[in-house]
Amino acid sequence: MSTTQLDEFRRHCRDFLAQAATPRMAQWEAQGRVDRDFWEQAGAAGLLASALAASWVAAARATSVTP
């Protein structure tokens, strides 16, 4: 991952958390858990299991047959 890509990913994470998490932190602390819809939103934003997804792509490339 290039420095530019990493900077873009960090910006994406910060923006997502500022919008989806920060306003709800007090609520989550009071209830003792993070709501499920936050995790669904994080997944939809591409923030969950990114290392796993990258390994799948690498494995697919390594095993694919090209004409």
Q: Specify the pTM.
A: 0.70
User: Can you tell me the distance from the alpha carbon of 21 to that of 30, in angstroms, rounded to the nearest whole number?
Assistant: 14
Tens of pLDDT, residue by residue, the chain (67 residues):
788 888 998 999 999 999 999 999 999 999 999 999 999 999 889 888 766 666 666 666 666 644 4
The SS3 call for residue 64 is: coil
What is the predicted pLDDT for the residue at 58?
Answer: 67
What is the predicted pLDDT for the residue at 35?
Answer: 96
User: Can you tell me the distance from the alpha carbon of 66 to that of 59, in angstroms, rounded to the nearest whole number?
Assistant: 14
